[in-house]
Amino acid sequence: MPLKYLISACLAGHAVRYDAKSIPLRGLQRLMQTHEVITACPEMLGGLSCPRLPAEIQNGSALDVLNGHAQVRDGLGTDVSKAFIEGAYQTLKLAQQHHVDIVVLKEFSPSCGTHAIYDGSFSRTKIEGQGITATLLMQHGFQVMSEHEFLAMIEEQF
């Protein structure tokens, strides 16, 4: 039975990023021909608009945000944590409903980063860490990977 994937909507070519752009993932078209692919943008699912101000996790980790001990703030300092948390839970719900096997998320995003995110200073400085959606999905047992890991994996398969 073919694997089922949940992939960040921006990687599938949907213009849903904060800057209303997408970062289409090469190789996804081949995968979509042979596997079920669900797309989601946690930030849009959480009720944020497009375009929107960039946002970063501040004063802690994604786990701290989920536990109410840190925040996600946009470039003007507005706390948008509630939308990020809601989007993470909506994405989890989709993954569970569709029984996905692998989740592919956009690295560096405060929602989707799997290994690295921005440091909260809006200086484009990257640090080791995970986004809120990535953290929640991993907590629930989903295999989560960045687009870089995914590309390496599909190169081996195709």
Q: What mean pLDDT value characterizes the chain? A: 94
At residue 140, what is the residue type? H
| Number of domain units in the chain | 1
Percent of the chain with pLDDT over 90: 85
Q: pLDDT per residue over 79-100, tens digit each?
A: 999 999 999 999 999 999 999 9
Q: Check residue 31 and give its pLDDT.
A: 81
- CA–CA distance, 34 with 30 (Å, rounded to integer): 7
* DSSP alpha helix (H) spans, the chain: 28-34, 42-45, 62-66, 81-97, 132-139, 147-157
- CA–CA distance, 94 with 46 (Å, rounded to integer): 13
Percent of the chain with pLDDT over 70: 98
Give the domain range for residue 97: 4-157
- Locate tokens 């929640």: which residue? 136
> What is the model's pTM?
0.95
| CB distance 39 to 76 below 8 Å | no
Instruction: Identify the band that residue 158 occupies on the pLDDT scale cut at 50, 70 and 90.
Output: low
26: pLDDT strictly greater than 70: yes
| CB distance 119 to 56 below 8 Å | yes
